[in-house]
């Protein structure tokens, strides 16, 4: 009986992992209908979040700033 107690924690991990894999492989049984990705994307473009719009503007400004900078070459110079 004492040996069985030592074996129980060692078996709990693989058995638990098998149960989790089985649960994730089962088909979704809910009856709810999710909106299509196209409809969700179109809705986001019609009414954009003000925070998202300001972040996009900031990204555009940072990209323009990067394009204006001279980027040093990453190749080492050869010396004779």
Question: pLDDT per residue over 29-75, tens digit each?
Answer: 665 666 566 655 555 555 678 999 999 999 999 999 988 886 665 66
DSSP 21-51: HHHHHSPP-----PPPHHHHHHHHHHS--HH
Chain segment 69-78, per-residue pLDDT in tens: 866 656 667 7
In the DSSP assignment, the letter for residue 76 is P
Estimate to the nearest angstrom the gap between the alpha carbon of 1 and the chain centroid.
46
Question: Of residues 57 and 3, which shows the higher confidence score?
Answer: 57
Could you identify the residue written with the tokens 């954009």? 48
């Amino acid at each position: 009986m004492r040996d069985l107690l030592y074996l129980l924690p060692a078996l709990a991990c693989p058995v638990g992992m098998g149960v989790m894999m089985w649960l994730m492989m089962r088909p979704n049984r809910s009856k709810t209908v999710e909106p299509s990705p196209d409809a969700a994307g179109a809705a986001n473009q019609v009414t954009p979040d003000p925070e998202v719009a300001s972040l996009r503007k900031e990204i555009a400004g940072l990209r323009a700033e990067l394009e204006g900078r001279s980027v040093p070459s990453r190749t080492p110079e050869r010396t004779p």
